[in-house]
Chains A and B, each alone.
Chain A
Amino acid sequence: MATTEPEALSPDFHVGHHWDKADTQFDAGRMGIWIFLVTEILFFGGLFCAFFIFQSWYFDSFVEAHNQLDWRLGGLNTIVLITSSLTMALAVRAAQTNDRKRTIQMLAITIACAAAFLVIKYTEYHHKIEEGLLPGANFTAVGFHSANPKVFFSIYFMMTGIHGLHVVIGMGLIMWILLRAAKGEFSSRYYAPVEGVGLYWHLVDLVWIYLFPLLYLVG
């Protein structure tokens, strides 16, 4: 930082006249992201609530049905998402330290990890659809001893599907940040969008941290 003139960093950046200082502007933006994350947590919370109710009501079905999920693929996806969280955090750090090349590299790896997650998820979905392990009325698989495995798959597809949608949206957001980073918009004085998208991405990871043991491991 000593070698770069502060004026050369993020030339288009300015502090809005209604802020007393740059830190206030930055903190207000970050607080806004945190409040958005609260709404996301409560949104997923509805699904987790449904999971716990139906797991309690149809306990035997959940235990039997969850064995149809491959914990190896689920575990692999967990590692992939944790890796993407690391690279996202490193991208924010690179933006903080004015390392544009590293920022772009790390964001690109994060998108690649997100894509890998979706490919693994696709193979899992494909297998389930082939076997007829589908939600509710579409459930056609046979050979279950318990009465309601279809309820488990309703919950499974809804929770992982909405989580997968968040991964797709996250890929779009990270691509947007990557393009802006390539234009040299971010620096130690202005990296709020990188940080904000990063917080969202970590939340997507956080939801999966709960989905994986509940759906794949315990049932």
Chain B
Amino acid sequence: MSDDHGSVSGGTPHPGDHAHGGPDHVPHVTPLPIYFKTFGALVFLTLLTIGVSRVNLGHATNLAIAIIIATTKAATVAAMFMHLYADHRFHTAIFASSLVFLLVFVSFTMFDTEFRGKFGAIDGTRVTNIQDPFNKIPPPAPSASAAPAAGAAEKK
């Protein structure tokens, strides 16, 4: 790792100099057996996920197992075939950041869609009983706020 900027365009490559930083890019070559073992692992996990899905463990369990196996396969592909295992850690961080934002995207959207129409009585824009928002029975209205609550009900 030298800061020999001057040698880039005109310099001669040093034979046997496999350290990074020379005028030539020297690839990191993964040994062949590693590629074949990776392929074997991916085929095994594919057969495993098919096999597990034939057993009824309840939908949530089956879904969780399928996603865990798929994520294991995806991590294997990213690490070995996409060379993240030998690449700059920053590239792994870029990849991981997309998964973090994907999780935010899906989960925050489903915070909405999962609970539509499941709240209790709504007064204006608020659930009337914030202590028990999923209970459809409104709380006994205190006499002081009875008038505005009645007004909100009329608007519907």
Interface on A for B, CB 8 Å cutoff? 2, 6, 15, 17, 19-23, 25-27, 30-31, 34-35, 37-38, 41-42, 45-46, 48-49, 52-53, 56-57, 59, 63, 71, 75, 78-79, 82-83, 85-86, 88-90, 93, 96-97, 188-191, 195, 198-199, 202, 205-206, 209-210, 212-214, 217-218
Contact B110 A89 (CB under 8 A): no
Contact A22 B24 (CB under 8 A): yes
Interchain nearest-CB distance for A114 vs B (Å): 15
Selected from B25, B53, B82, the residue in CB contact (under 8 A) with A217 is: B53
Instruction: Find chain B residues with CB under 8 A from A82 CB.
Output: 39, 42-43, 46
Instruction: Find chain B residues with CB under 8 A from A48 CB.
Output: 102, 106
Contact A23 B25 (CB under 8 A): yes
Contact B46 A86 (CB under 8 A): no
Contact B25 A189 (CB under 8 A): yes
Contact A38 B106 (CB under 8 A): no
Interchain nearest-CB distance for B99 vs A (Å): 7
Identity of the chain B residue whose Cβ is nearest the Cβ of A63 in the assembled complex: B59
Instruction: Find chain A residues with CB under 8 A from B20 CB.
Output: 23
Interchain nearest-CB distance for B134 vs A (Å): 16
Instruction: Find chain B residues with CB under 8 A from A202 CB.
Output: 77-78, 81-82
Interface on B for A, CB 8 Å cutoff? 3, 5, 8-9, 13, 15, 20-27, 29-30, 32, 35-36, 38-39, 42-43, 46, 49-50, 53, 59, 62-63, 66-67, 69-70, 73-74, 77-78, 80-83, 87-88, 90-91, 94-95, 97-99, 101-102, 105-106, 109-110, 113-114
Known: A15-B8, A31-B90. A42 touches B23 (CB 8 A): no
Contact B23 A15 (CB under 8 A): yes
9 CB-based A-B contacts, threshold 8 Å? A21-B21, A23-B25, A42-B101, A79-B46, A188-B27, A209-B70, A213-B53, A213-B66, A218-B59
Inter-chain CA distance A85–B80, complex, in Å, is 11
Interchain nearest-CB distance for A7 vs B (Å): 8
Interchain nearest-CB distance for A171 vs B (Å): 18
Interchain nearest-CB distance for A202 vs B (Å): 5
Contact A218 B62 (CB under 8 A): yes
Contact B91 A31 (CB under 8 A): yes
Interchain nearest-CB distance for A31 vs B (Å): 6
Selected from A2, A189, A205, A206, the residue in CB contact (under 8 A) with B24 is: A189
